[in-house]
Amino acid sequence: MNTFLSYNVYRSNCPARVFFETLANKWVLLLMNALEHEPQHFNLLKKNIEGISPKVLSQTLKNLERDGFIKRTVMDTRPVRVEYSLTPFGEDFSKTTYLIKNWAEKNIDRVLSAQQIYDAEQFK
């Protein structure tokens, strides 16, 4: 069945690598975080995640649904409303994505000053 003794993201055609590459995407990570603990509708997500186009939002949601992270619920209203929420599996993963988001927000100041120092050094 599976020819890999164990999964390894460093191997270019390991399934874990392929999957890992789909996760290493800004829209995926932002979306997972945006949905943490609060289901949202399509247009709300589009508004909350600044800069995402309907096309990209749509395809990213579809992929995450396929991977089992997101549940798509069509509301029986006119006009139709569609609610996106995390599955328990998605909730689990979002704990990890949150850490990256959080780390970035917490450490950006330090990165910015490292960049300034580096750039000044190059200029000399």
Partner DNA sequence: CAGAATCCTTTTGGATACTG
Partner DNA sequence: CAGTATCCAAAAGGATTCTG
Alpha-carbon distance of 24 to 118, in angstroms, equals: 26
**What contacts 56, CB < 8 A, 6 or more positions away?**
27
Contact 84, 39 (CB under 8 A): yes
Interface residue with DNA among 19, 72, 103, 113 (CB under 7 A) is 72
Residue 11 binds to DNA (criterion: CB under 7 A): no
**Structural tokens at position 93:** 């993963």
35 binds, among DNA, its own copies, none (CB under 5 to 8 A by kind): none
Residue 42 binds to DNA (criterion: CB under 7 A): yes
Choose among 40, 30, 34, 25: nearest CA to 72.
40
Residue 122 binds to DNA (criterion: CB under 7 A): no
Contact 18, 67 (CB under 8 A): no
Alpha-carbon distance of 123 to 53, in angstroms, equals: 38
CB of 113 to DNA, least distance (A): 23
Interface residue with DNA among 8, 53, 96, 115 (CB under 7 A) is 53
49 binds, among its own copies, DNA, none (CB under 5 to 8 A by kind): its own copies
73 binds, among DNA, its own copies, none (CB under 5 to 8 A by kind): none
- Give residues in contact with DNA (CB under 7 A): 25-27, 41-44, 51-56, 58-59, 61-62, 72, 79-84
